Structure 1
Amino acid sequence: MDDNAIILMNLGDILTNAGFRCYEADHGEAAKAMLPSHAENITLLFSDVEMPGDTDGFALARHVAEVYPWIEIVIASGQVKPTAGDMPENATFLSKPFSAQMVLDHLRETLPDGKKPEPLTRAV
């Protein structure tokens, strides 16, 4: 999830190529509205911190961790670094700019084996 359409499309491609089925939203409220219909099929939330509207990526991550605790969370930003209390305990942070390889390496390192799609379990 990202507010920049080009980054959102690129990240969607990275995650799709990694074996995930992607649901995209361009702001936090849209993601929160989408979750009840799809949450049982979601294993990963990947969100930017800064988005339009009242729900930034940190707030979205806290909401997801509370309501959907099985969903893994990665938060990214090139502008904002998390401080204590910004992110839930199980969330990880990735600095922008990032490459596809950086995203894949981060997911390989941080996702539990049972939540990695098959392409992420292959040796690199």
Structure 2
Amino acid sequence: MTQNPPESHESTDLPVVLLVEDDGLLLMEAADTLVDAGFEVVEASHADNALSVLESRDDVGVLMTDVDMPRGSMDGFALARLVAHRWPGIPVLVVSGMGTPGPNDMPDGARFIPKPYEPSTLVRTLRAFARRAA
């Protein structure tokens, strides 16, 4: 009996996502959602870890960061602005359950999704980033 090949996720066309989230359960859930959608995910538990990843890898294609991160030297808004400045080719997605961003919180071109978000919204937004970067 012949098995059908697994469903293609077009993973070769999807960017590596740097996922920054201090809550371990939320990090795991978001990572699982993205991997299931065909993304490669690199996890970081706070902004300082994320910067180390960006400085050591050249294949990160999207930054997804939570805002409120008690550990580390900066919150997600500061990380988003820094990444937009140092790595302008990396699109930024900011997520938060603490309200909406103010006028100067996010860099130009960044997107915001409030928590809790639907997994399909997350995947759709990151795929749109991939199409924009292609």
Q: Report if TM-score (shorter chain) is over 0.5.
A: yes
**2-side partners of 1:10 and 1:74: how far apart?**
16
Residue of structure 2 in register with 1:15 after alignment: 34
Which residue of 1 is the match for residue 10 of structure 2? none
- Per the TM alignment, residue 112 of structure 1 is displaced from its structure 2 partner at its CA by 4.9
Alpha-carbon distance in 2 for matches of 1:107, 1:3: 20
1:70-109: CA deviation from partner (whole Å, max 9, x where unpaired)? 111100001131011100001100000012112122234x
> 2: distance between equivalents of 1:114 and 1:82?
23
The residue correspondences of 1:1-124 to structure 2 (distance < 5 A) are 1-38=20-57, 40-52=58-70, 53-108=72-127, 110-113=128-131, 115=133
How many residues were matched structurally?
114
Q: TM-score, normalised by structure 1?
A: 0.84
Q: Which amino acid aligns with 1:58?
A: F
Structure with the largest fraction of helix: 1
SS at match of 1:60: helix
Aligned residue for 2:12? none
Using structure 2 for the length normalisation, give the TM-score.
0.78
**Which ranges of structure 2 fall in alignment gaps of 5 or more residues?**
1-19
Q: What is the one-letter code of the residue matched to 1:37? A: S
Which runs of at least 4 in structure 1 moved beyond 6 Å after TM superposition? none
How much is the aligned-residue C-alpha RMSD, in angstroms?
1.6
